[in-house]
Chains A and B, each alone.
Chain A
Amino acid sequence: MQKIKYILFSILFFITFQVVNAQRFPEPEFETDYTVPETQTVSPRALAWEYMDVVVLFAALSIMSWFVLKKRSRKGIFWTSIFSIAYFGAFREGCVCSVGSIQNITLSLFQADYVIPLTVIAFFVLPLLFTLLFGRTFCAGVCFMGALQDLVHIKPVTVPTWISKPLSALPYIYLVLALLLAATGADFIVCRYDPFIGFFRMNATFGMFIFGAIILILGIFVGRPYCRFLCPYGVLLSWMSRLSIWHTTVTPSACIQCKLCETSCPVDAIDKPTIVKPESADKGRKRLITLLILLPVFVFVGGFMSSLMYKQLSAIHPTVSLAEEIKWEIDNHKKTGSEESKAFHTSGIPAEQLFADAASIQSQFYVGTWIAGTLLGLFFGISLLQHAVVQRRTDYEPNKSNCVSCGKCYKYCPVDKDGKSSLIQL
Chain B
Amino acid sequence: MQKNKLNRREFLKTGLRATAFLSLASITGLAVSKSMSDDLVWQIDPYKCVQCGRCATNCVLNISAVKCMHVHKMCGYCDLCGGYFKPQVKNLDTGAENQLCPTKALKRKFVEDPYYLYEIEEELCNGCGKCVEGCDAFGNGSLHLQINHNICTNCNQCAISKVCPADAIVQIPEKKGYMLKTGFSAPKA
Please list the residues of chain A having a beta carbon within 8 angstroms of any beta carbon in chain B: 17, 20-28, 30-32, 34, 36-39, 41-47, 50, 93, 95-97, 100-101, 103-105, 108-109, 114-118, 120-121, 124-125, 128-129, 132, 187-188, 191-192, 201-203, 239-240, 243, 245, 318, 338-340, 342-344, 346-347
Contact = CB atoms under 8 A, between A and B. Distances in A.
B166 A343 contact: yes
A25 B112 contact: no
Interface string B135-153: 0001110000010111011
Contacts of B157: 100, 103, 188, 191-192
B135 to A, nearest CB: 10
A343 B154 contact: no
A125 B152 contact: no
19 contacts: A17-B188, A21-B183, A34-B112, A36-B75, A39-B70, A41-B177, A42-B148, A96-B156, A97-B156, A114-B34, A115-B35, A116-B34, A116-B35, A124-B28, A132-B21, A203-B61, A342-B52, A343-B52, A343-B165
Interface stretch (B36-44, B83-91, B94-102): B36-44
Contacts of A95: 153, 155-156
Contacts of B152: 44, 46
B165 A342 contact: yes
B106 to A, nearest CB: 15
Nearest to A96: B156
- Give 4 nearest A-B pairs by CB, closest first: A25-B76, A343-B166, A44-B149, A339-B165
B31 interface: yes
A364 to B, nearest CB: 18
Contacts of B1: none
Contact of A36 (B24, B72, B188): B72
B40 A115 contact: yes
A420 B171 CA distance: 61
Nearest to A26: B76
B72 A191 contact: no
Given A108-B35, A239-B20, A121 B185 contact: no
B62 interface: yes
B20 A25 contact: no
A27 B54 contact: no
B95 to A, nearest CB: 24
Interface of B: 13, 16-17, 20-21, 24, 27-28, 30-32, 34-37, 39-41, 48, 50, 52, 54, 60-62, 69-78, 111-112, 115, 138-140, 146, 148-150, 152-157, 162, 165-167, 171, 174, 177-178, 180, 183-185, 188
A128 B149 contact: no
Given A42-B150, A343-B50, A120 B156 contact: yes
A342 B50 CA distance: 8
A129 B24 contact: yes
A121 B35 CA distance: 9
Nearest to A23: B140
Contacts of A34: 111-112
A54 to B, nearest CB: 13
Contacts of B40: 115, 117
Contact of B34 (A108, A125, A245, A340): A108
A243 B20 contact: yes
A20 B111 contact: no
Contacts of A50: 39, 154
A108 B31 contact: yes
Contact of A23 (B30, B74, B188): B74
Contact of A347 (B48, B78, B138): B48
B185 A20 contact: yes
Contacts of B28: 121, 124-125
A340 B165 contact: yes
Contacts of B69: 39, 41
B31 A116 contact: yes
Contacts of B39: 44, 47, 50, 117
Given A36-B72, A44-B152, A339 B50 contact: yes
Given A109-B30, A187-B162, A343-B50, A44 B41 contact: yes
Nearest to A38: B72
A351 to B, nearest CB: 16
Given A39-B180, A43-B177, A132-B24, 20 more contacts: A21-B184, A28-B76, A39-B71, A42-B148, A44-B174, A46-B153, A47-B39, A96-B155, A114-B34, A115-B40, A118-B32, A132-B21, A191-B156, A192-B157, A192-B162, A202-B62, A239-B20, A240-B20, A240-B24, A340-B165
